[in-house]
Amino acid sequence: MTALAAYLLGSIPTGYLAGRMKGIDIRTVGSGNIGATNVFRILGRTAGIIVLVVDGLKGWVAVEWGPVWVAALLHMRGLGAADLEWLRIIAAMSVILGHNYTCWLRFKGGKGIATSAGVLAALIPPAFAAGVTAWIVVCLLTRYVSLGSIAAAIVLPFATWAAHDSLRLIVIAGVMGVLAIYKHKANIQRLMQGTENKIGAKKNPPATGAGA
């Protein structure tokens, strides 16, 4: 039940809904992704910030409160620390998979960076801090959001290993990093071709009503 609840929470397509509110199918413009970066580029700063925050909150709520609510609903008493950690890990992966492969959009979603950040803030705060730092530094140096996200994904398991002796958390951080990099495969190809969008680059004009 924890997995299902977290998946459904993660599957809420925030960026797609933000676009629809303005008559735009965000999947048909810019990079075609429903994540915050494409929303920033197409719909503007306010919409981008809202999508970023909401997607992050999906991850945080799923891990921080999901297992507690499910345990209370099922009257599961006396959960040990190890049991709670397992439930939090299940919630973490399920909410990310829900965002990346939302059932509401034929299992095509975002890249999971904001949602993963919310997960890490609740599950592994030191890895969250290290990932955000790596993201900021690389973005400032290169002006590529995608490259910053990839750098953050690479840092995650090492930061977790430095802060925790839990093999389960180290493994889950590694899986999250690999999944994030996999979801950036198109960005990696564009980076190699020199066609990836940079921060501050002129955005594509939104196609009102596209895909309607």
pLDDT at 201 over 90: no
How sure is the predictor about 131, in pLDDT bands with cuts at 50, 70 and 90? very high
Distance CA 68, CA 191 (A): 42
User: Can you give the pLDDT at residue 80?
Assistant: 63
The phi and psi torsions of 178 (rounded to 5 degrees) equal -65, -40
170 or 201, greater pLDDT: 170
How sure is the predictor about 210, in pLDDT bands with cuts at 50, 70 and 90? very low
Q: How many CB atoms lie within 10 A of CB 177?
A: 22
Q: What is the pLDDT of residues 152-174, one digit of tens each?
A: 999 999 999 999 888 999 999 99
What are the residue boundaries of the structural domains of the chain, listed by start? 2-193
pLDDT at 150 over 60: yes
Predicted TM-score (pTM) of this structure: 0.87
Mean pLDDT of all residues in 169-183:
95
User: Can you give the pLDDT at residue 211?
Assistant: 34
Provide the token pair at 72. 């209370």
Q: What is the pLDDT of residues 78-123, one digit of tens each?
A: 666 667 788 899 999 999 999 999 999 999 999 999 999 999 999 9
pLDDT at 202 over 80: no
